[in-house]
Amino acid sequence: MKRIMIFLSMFLLSLPVSAQALTGEEILNKIDQNMVVEEAVSITKMVIHSRTGTRTIKSKTWIKGEDKAFVEYLSPPREKGKKMLKIGDKIWNYTPEPNDRIITISGHLLRQSVMGSDLSYEDMTENHRLAELYEATLEGQAEFAGRNCYILQLAAKKKNVAYHSRKLWVDAERWLPLKEERFARGGRLLKRFEIKEVFKIEDRWYPKKMIFKDVLSKGKGTEYYIESIDFNVKIPDYKLTKAALRK
């Protein structure tokens, strides 16, 4: 009997982590390890399907840690040259000529739409560790988009988060939230999110094409593409300052 118990213990230890029983907290930590970046530069594209038509906006984004991000819009011509800086819980929007002005956004205004899209300012610059903001409960497993997924229910630890609760369908191998529903404090569904395409960069899987849908708006959703991303960069401090907005 003793030999059998030793064999079983060694067998369980030899199993891959995904084959063993995981807690909601462990799964959330794996998502953070895969998704949160220390420093990165990316080229992204938003295809916004609004009530009045479809338009495409391309931008370049610099991210440094959880609290700093810089976005420069590249196209179309009417948006080219506009910039956005995030430091902590504030965002500065810069509009070049003819206005040449900087507008500060903070508080509840961070939950407004960016460029008429289904993404808020908080959505677009999110790089926080979910495990620091939410308690995670594992509700079970299910298949989604042909992938085996863990279903997580997240409840906010803090009052000032954008979404009081979230429900995630997490790829059990790639540690990506393939589907997500985001809720207000009263339980009202605010947004749906899905990852449609992924790509592998070094040792991590990352979303390539995402769909955001603000269920309170009448548009048809926003497609968000990461066309390229570089994790092996060193972003100089001056790039993430208000002075850089007018350069």
Chain segment 75-101, per-residue pLDDT in tens: 999 999 999 999 999 999 999 988 899
Structural domain total, the chain: 1
pLDDT at residue number 210: 98
Query: The CATH number of the domain where 200 resides is what?
Result: 2.50.20.10
Question: What average pLDDT does the chain have?
Answer: 91
Which structural domain range is residue 133 located in? 21-246
State the amino acid at position 225 in one-letter form: Y
pLDDT at residue number 164: 96
> The whole model's pTM is what?
0.88
Residue 12: band (very low, low, confident or very high) from pLDDT cuts 50, 70, 90: very low
DSSP-derived secondary structure for 157-192: SSTTSS-SEEEEEEETTT--EEEEEEE-TTS-EEEE
In a domain, 14, yes or no: no
CA distance 49 to 170: 26
pLDDT at residue number 34: 95
Note the helical H segments in the chain.
Answer: 2-14, 24-35, 121-125, 130-133
In a domain, 9, yes or no: no
Residue 16: band (very low, low, confident or very high) from pLDDT cuts 50, 70, 90: very low
In a domain, 3, yes or no: no
